[in-house]
Structure 1
Amino acid sequence: MILVPSGETLQMEFMLPYFKVLPFSEILFKNYTFSGICLLIVNGITNLIAAYLLIKNKKIGIILGTIFGFTLMLWITIQFIIFPLNILSITYFIIGLIQLLTGYMTYDNKKI
C-alpha cells in the first residue's frame, strides 16, 4: 500500500471508490498511501511494541495486546461498514477477537 499506492499488486484498485463516503476522501484517498501509513501505525507498530513487551515479560504487554486486538476488531468493523463483506476482513476480525480473548484470559490468570 505504501510502496505501490495504486493497489495494483494487492488487486485492490477497484475498492478505492468505496472510500468516497469518508470525510476528506478527495484529499486523503486518491490512492492507498494514507491507508497504508494508518495501517502501519495503528495495527503494525503498536502490535510490535506489545510483542516486545511480552517478550520482556512485562504485564503491560498483555494489556496492550488486548487493547490492540480490540483496535483491530474496531478497524475491521469500520471496513465492514464501508466495503462489501469479504473473507480477508472476516479473517482479520477473528484474529483480533482471538488476540483480545487471549489477552483477557492471560491477564486474568496473571492477577497477583
Structure 2
Amino acid sequence: MKKLYKIMLFLHLFVGIGAMAGGSAAIISPKLPMGMTVDTLKYSPFNNFLIPGIILFVVLGIGNIFSAIMMFLKSKYQGYISSVFSFALVIWIIVQCIMLRTIVSLHVIFLIIGLIQSIISIIILFNQHIFPTNIIINIISKLSEKYPNNTIIKTIYTLGKKFI
C-alpha cells in the first residue's frame, strides 16, 4: 500500500506542476500560449485560452498540489481528495478532446494518468473503509457468507481481501 501512496504522490505532483505551468502560460499569453493559436478553439465556447488557463491552473494545478500535500500529511480524507482531482483530470481531458475535436499524444498520456490516479484513489478509499466503500465491503462480505459457492462473489471477495 505504501508503494501506491508514493505513486499517487508523484502523480499528483507531476500533474499539478504541469497544469500550473500550462495554466500560467495560458493566463499570461491567452492568445498564443506555448505556440498554440486561438484557431484551435474554433469549436469551443472560448475566444482565447484565458478561462481554460485559469481552470487548468486552479483546478488541476493547485488541486493536485493540494492533494499531494494532503497525501504527504496523511489526511484521513485523502481518498476523497484524490478521487476529486483524479476524476477532474479525466473529465478535463475528455472535454478538451471534444472541444478541440482532436486527440494528440498528450491527451492519451494524461487520460491514462488520470485513470491510474482514479483507480488508486478508489483503492485508497476501500483501504480506509470509509463511505461509500464500507457499504460495498459489507455487502460483498455478506454475499460471500450467504453464497459461499458462487464463483463471481468468491472472486470479488478474494480480490477485495488481496487489495484491501
If the length of structure 1 is used for normalisation, what is the TM-score? 0.80
Structure 1 counterpart of 2:73: 56
Matched residue, 2:123: 105
Runs of 4+ in 1 over 3 A off after TM superposition: none
Of Structure 1 and Structure 2, the greater helix share is in 2
For 2:56, which of 33, 39, 52 is the aligned residue? 39
Post-superposition offset of 1:60 = 0.9
CA deviation profile, 1:49-72 (whole Å, cap 9, x unmatched):
211111111121221111211111
1:93 Cα offset (Å): 0.9
Q: Does the aligned pair in 2 maintain the 1:50–1:62 contact within 8 Å? A: no
Q: Normalising by structure 2, report the TM-score.
A: 0.57
1:17 equivalent in alignment to 2:42: yes
1:59-98 alignment runs, 5 A limit = 59-83=76-100, 84-98=102-116
Question: What is the alpha-carbon distance in structure 2 between the residues aligned to residue 79 and residue 87 of structure 1?
Answer: 13
Gaps spanning 5+ residues in structure 1: where?
Answer: 23-28
- Residue 108 of structure 2: SS of its match in structure 1? helix
In 2: Cα distance, 1:16 partner to 1:80 partner: 11
Cα distance, 1:88 vs structure 2? 1.1
- Residue by residue, what CA displacement relative to the aligned partner does 1:59-102 show, whole Å, maximum 9, x if unpaired? 21221111211111111111121221111111111111011111
Output the aligned Cα RMSD. Answer: 1.7
Identity between Structure 1 and Structure 2 (%): 31
Looking at CA atoms only, which structure, 1 or 2, has the larger radius of gyration?
2
SS of the aligned residue for 2:48 comes to: coil
Out of 15, 31, 47, which is 1:30 matched to?
Answer: 47
Partners of 1:100 and 1:59 in 2: CA distance: 17
